[in-house]
Structure 1
Amino acid sequence: MRRDGGRKDAQMPRDQEDAAEQAGRPRRGFRRCGADLSQERRPGRAAHFSVLPSGGPLRCRPGFRARKNIYFHRRTPPFTVSGVMKNSHAVVLSELLSPATINLDLQSTDRNAVLAELVNQIPQFAQNPEARQTLLNALYEREQLHSTSIGDGVALPHARNAIVGLVDQPIIVFGRHPQGIAYDTLDHQPARLFFLLVAPTVTQHLAILARFNRLLRDPQLRQALLTAATPEEVLSRIRESETER
């Protein structure tokens, strides 16, 4: 009986073998996950996976036993952390804000009410109850999964994924609370500065979040946002910080 359980030998194609050799990996030694490798198992040895192009099968070294072949989807273009960070430098946050989407005097006293107050700053949602509730549900779900607070009195409310179909371009709302509210923060500081993000694509969603995380590390910018007297001053402070970084 064949060791692969009747399946054809699932060695790497020659072009992948050549690439593996150039990368310093063995040419032979990969099998499709799902082959019966019981004769080749080595106690205490963990499985090792290699990164393959979108649409290719997931392969593993001898020593790993799986039930099925696993395939990546072709529809979703692959993206990397380095690619997201590169894209984040191209994002200009001050261009996604406007005086109409800045509220310097939030009045709500709990997290969900603050989120609703922020969403009401977006005219297209304030005037569309169904779309407004869809966005709020996505924001509530994300907060239940894990707080969007990043510490130092700052929170970045956003949906778990891009909001496909609700918006055709990214929208940012800035809100400031005079006293701050409890927001499930790791540093136990009340959240006072809120940047609500709504984006139509995953790439924009991640790039904007990465850009915010980079800029808001600056204590001088955070202090400037706390003391800004007008929405125009908020925009000016963010624009200056983006120029410096």
Structure 2
Amino acid sequence: MTPPARRTPPATAAEARLLLVEDDDVIRNTVRMLLERYGFTVSTADDGLTGLEMFRETDPDLLLLDVMLPDLDGIGLCRRVRELSLAPILMMSARGDALDVVAGLEAGADDYVVKPCESAVLVARIRSLLRRASFTPADAGAGNGGQVDSAVLAFGDLTVDTRGMEVRRAGEVVALTPTELRMLLEFAGSPGVVLERRTLLSRVWDHAWHGDTRVVDLHVQRLRAKIGADRIETVRGFGYKLRR
């Protein structure tokens, strides 16, 4: 299957087109009006199948998906979207249930919030995801003082082109989401150095928060599946490091 193409992100929030899929009328309309006040263009759907159809029609810059949806739930919708697109996905869970969080991240979501969520937190998460999607070559190696020693970094059969924002494994292009790419660049900027989970939360998710570090663990798991399970080593009690 052809990997999803990398997207051209919006230049400003006012240009960002969001798709909100939420079955609760009150929550859907409240969140839509909130986001529109912040300058976003928001399309909405009240079930998973309609959301999938609207995604195909509108090609949004970011998706907000409720977990519990009729017809096609948010987890299934997230998987279907990930087959077609690398657009950022923010999952919304009413319970903050551990299984919801894990399932959403495993399905390809970039981040999650628990409803009800403060307006400032929701907007900050969205802006963070959009910034991540507009990640540029100048940002590569941000965790290493913004410096990279070479445009193309090689780790065995894995190459990371920090200018072209392209990753290849054994010569084949690896389709990474913006979050996965930014995480890999953090590791590649400091090979052999242990990065703590909260360090990765701060650098990759672009904001300091005291949330569940499972978001890091699940992204490492997804990254390993794409670049090689033995490429990123777990250092128990500390974090992760990229093998030299």
State the TM bucket, normalised to the shorter chain: under 0.3
Length-normalised TM-score, structure 1: 0.24
Structure of larger gyration radius = 1
Structure holding more strand per residue: 2
Length-normalised TM-score, structure 2: 0.24
